[in-house]
């Protein structure tokens, strides 16, 4: 160390970054100064590779404390989960998915293609599925619907508007506290339908989002 003062002057940074090595291996520092110069560059690049470790073909990668994957795998970005190809995704504390998968946005559920969806504390669906908007139930394609405390349906199903029952295509209808039906409808069918309605065979539980059919 004494015989090579010039070399000691030229490598003060190495002395600062590797004090333990300078203490334990002073002879190596003197005899191999060129090698010591190249080593720090390698040491600097190593942490970058360890942090990123990007992978291909659906493998796991870690970027800034987040998880990301490709090809329908799970990914986590900024404390949220997002996926493609029908997988589950969570963005900003909510779940969102594509291709008939379940999605949850801001405390609600929404889906496409006949799946169940819940928006703003209500359920809404397409293609004959159950929907619940602001406390009532509404559906398409002959499914049961309840709007403003009443039941309404299409294609011969039972409907209830303002405390009355009305249906199409030979089904039972009740307007203003009375029952009226088509000639093809027998009184037995009328009694059965009325009994089912009276016994709440067709019920809805808005809190649990359940519907029981008679």
Q: Each residue of 67-107: pLDDT tens digit?
A: 444 433 344 443 333 333 333 433 333 344 333 333 333 33
Q: Could you read off the pLDDT of 137-166 as tens digits, one per residue?
A: 333 333 333 333 333 333 333 333 433 444
Q: What is the pLDDT of residue 170?
A: 33
Mean residue pLDDT across the chain = 38
Structure tokens at 19: 């004090």
Domain limits of the chain?
A: 5-52, 137-212
Q: What is the pLDDT of residue 208?
A: 35
Which residues, 6 or more positions from 87, have their beta carbon under 8 angstroms from its beta carbon? 72, 73, 74, 97, 101
Residue 51 half-sphere exposure toward CB, CA atoms < 13 A: 8
> pTM for the complete prediction?
0.12
Residue in this structure with the two tokens 């009328």, named with its chain if needed? 190
């Amino acid at each position: 160390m004494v015989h090579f003062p010039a070399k000691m002057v030229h490598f003060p940074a190495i002395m600062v970054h590797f004090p333990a090595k300078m203490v334990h291996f002073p002879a190596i520092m003197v005899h191999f100064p060129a090698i010591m110069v190249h080593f720090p560059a390698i040491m600097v690049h190593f942490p970058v590779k360890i942090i990123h470790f990007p992978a291909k073909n659906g493998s796991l990668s870690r970027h800034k404390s987040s998880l990301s994957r490709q090809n329908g795998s799970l990914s986590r970005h900024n404390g949220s989960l997002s996926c493609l190809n029908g997988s589950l995704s969570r963005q900003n504390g909510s779940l969102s998915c594509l291709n008939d998968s379940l999605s949850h946005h801001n405390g609600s559920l929404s889906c496409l293609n006949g799946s169940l969806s819940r928006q703003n504390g209500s359920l809404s669906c397409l293609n004959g599925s159950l929907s619940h908007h602001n406390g009532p139930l509404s559906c398409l394609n002959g499914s049961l619907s309840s709007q403003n405390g009443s039941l309404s349906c299409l294609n011969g199903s039972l409907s209830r508007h303002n405390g009355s029952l009305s249906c199409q295509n030979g089904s039972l209808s009740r307007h203003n506290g009375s029952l009226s039906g088509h000639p093809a409808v027998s009184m037995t069918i009328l009694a059965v339908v009325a009994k089912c309605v009276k016994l709440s065979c067709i019920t809805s539980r808005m809190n649990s989002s359940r519907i029981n059919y008679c």
